[in-house]
């Protein structure tokens, strides 16, 4: 049988699967369900300094095409506030399952305030800075403002003084891969990169009613599911190649063992599930793990290290 164990920042992890931030992690009961699931790790909801209600409903819809499955959302960072997730992190059993804390401050000062509080807290939670939420009206994505990203990483590296990671938006230009990687490589404490958040500001229209599917931002929202898989794999592999001293977490389009395998092959160490987790619930992790193990067995791979990052290109 295939061995699905792996390591993340020298931490042993039972398997490479985890939730995507924003899915099944808003409140303590959902986080507990993740803790009890077959996932190898878990991440909290991206939080702001103070609680937020988020955007008006309807703000999430499944998109079922003839051969595609995905979602569009404009959640707007609804969350219980930083203090709520910090309290959860302080009582979580981190030896059972690593917990990432995702921070998405609305300002630089908010981010630094949360980072300082997390540093002072007695918890081994792993810090992830969300630089990529596309659904807060009036708030641009830091991941697309390279000067702002550089400033934030410099401030956090100086103040936090321990390894942390970033969640990036999708990039579509080779020059942007290069520029973002150059900035990330300046900061040794940036230990991991999560690729990708949803593809922002898509528009899905219902042909029968001739209306948008979601209400906020005149129907514009972030795409997930099948629609984002090729872009997610490109970003995972681009940063795997450009940031050899950093660990990559893959996110986007995972609904079965096949997509999980592809993310690992492209260079990811951990793989997040979003849209399909939202629809299927935490039971999805065992199903995907079983499918991933079957693929590895069929290919003769004993461990994830046998194929992780070993994507072949055409000569």
- Looking at the annotation, which residues are catalytic? 133
Distance between CA atoms of residues 21 and 26, nearest Å = 9
Q: Can you count the helices (H) and strands (E) in the chain?
A: 9, 16
CB 17 within 8 A of CB 43: no
Nearest Cα residue to 271 out of 17, 10, 101, 6:
17
Distance between CA atoms of residues 221 and 215, nearest Å = 9
Q: How far is CA 19 from CA 158, 186, 216, 283, 285, in A?
A: 29, 28, 25, 12, 9
Distance between CA atoms of residues 88 and 31, nearest Å = 9
Please give the DSSP secondary-structure letter assigned to residue 14.
Answer: S
Chain centroid to CA 283: 19
Q: Is 294 exposed, middle or buried (0-12, 13-18, 19+ CB in 10 A)?
A: middle
Nearest Cα residue to 252 out of 202, 193, 308, 195:
195
């Amino acid at each position: 049988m295939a061995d699905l164990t792996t390591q993340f920042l020298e931490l042993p992890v039972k398997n490479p699967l985890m939730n995507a931030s924003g899915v099944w992690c808003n409140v303590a009961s959902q986080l507990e369900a993740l803790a009890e699931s077959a996932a190898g790790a878990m991440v909290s909801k991206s939080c702001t300094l103070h609680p937020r209600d988020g955007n008006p409903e309807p703000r999430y819809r499944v998109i079922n095409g003839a051969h595609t499955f995905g979602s569009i959302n404009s959640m707007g960072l609804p969350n219980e506030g930083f203090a709520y997730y910090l309290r959860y992190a302080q009582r979580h059993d981190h030896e059972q399952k690593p917990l990432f804390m995702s921070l998405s401050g609305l300002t630089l000062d908010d981010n630094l305030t949360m980072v300082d509080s997390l540093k002072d807290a007695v918890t081994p939670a792993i810090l992830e800075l969300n630089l990529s939420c596309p659904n807060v009206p009036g708030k641009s994505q830091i991941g697309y403002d390279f000067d702002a990203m550089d400033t934030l990483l410099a401030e956090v590296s100086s103040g936090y003084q321990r390894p942390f990671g970033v969640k990036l938006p999708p990039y579509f230009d080779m020059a942007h891969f290069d520029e973002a990687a150059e900035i990330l490589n300046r900061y040794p404490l940036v230990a991991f990169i999560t690729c990708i958040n949803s593809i922002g500001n898509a528009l899905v229209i219902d042909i029968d009613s001739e209306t948008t599917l979601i209400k906020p931002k005149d129907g514009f929202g972030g795409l997930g599911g099948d629609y984002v898989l090729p872009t997610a794999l490109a970003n995972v592999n681009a940063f795997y190649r450009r940031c050899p001293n950093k660990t990559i977490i893959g996110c986007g389009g995972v609904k079965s063992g096949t997509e999980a395998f592809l993310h690992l092959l492209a260079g990811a160490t951990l793989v997040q599930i979003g849209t399909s987790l939202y629809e299927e619930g935490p039971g999805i992790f065992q199903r995907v793990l079983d499918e991933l193990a079957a693929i590895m067995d069929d290919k003769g791979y004993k461990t994830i290290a046998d194929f992780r990052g070993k994507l072949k290109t055409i000569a």
